[in-house]
């Protein structure tokens, strides 16, 4: 394997783990539904919504592992498939 930038063969392949938090609701939800549904839900289901806000799960954590090659001469990084 060669570096795409400097053509060196001094390459190390590493496993990199990325941790991301996923939000519960996206932008399309808030534009089309969320702005009126949240108000209506608070009015109709006030106690239930309060319990969800206080004790509900806020975000979902997702872990992604991928391989990354690093050139020892120039420091260039690229994904390995």
- Residue-wise pLDDT for 7-58, tens only, equals 999 999 999 999 987 767 778 888 888 888 888 888 888 887 788 778 876 6
- More confident position, 54 or 66: 66
Backbone angles phi, psi at 4, to 5 degrees: -70, -20
Q: Are 24 and 62 in contact (CB under 8 A)?
A: no
Per-residue confidence (pLDDT) for residue 1, from 0 to 100:
86
Per-residue confidence (pLDDT) for residue 76, from 0 to 100:
93
């Amino acid at each position: 394997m060669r570096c795409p930038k400097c053509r060196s063969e001094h390459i190390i392949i590493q496993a990199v783990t990325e941790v991301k938090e996923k939000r519960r609701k996206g932008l399309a939800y808030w534009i089309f539904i969320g702005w009126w549904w949240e108000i209506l839900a608070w009015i109709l289901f006030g106690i239930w919504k309060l319990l969800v806000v206080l004790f509900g799960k806020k975000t979902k954590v997702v872990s992604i592992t991928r391989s990354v090659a690093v050139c020892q001469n120039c420091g260039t990084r690229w994904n390995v498939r």
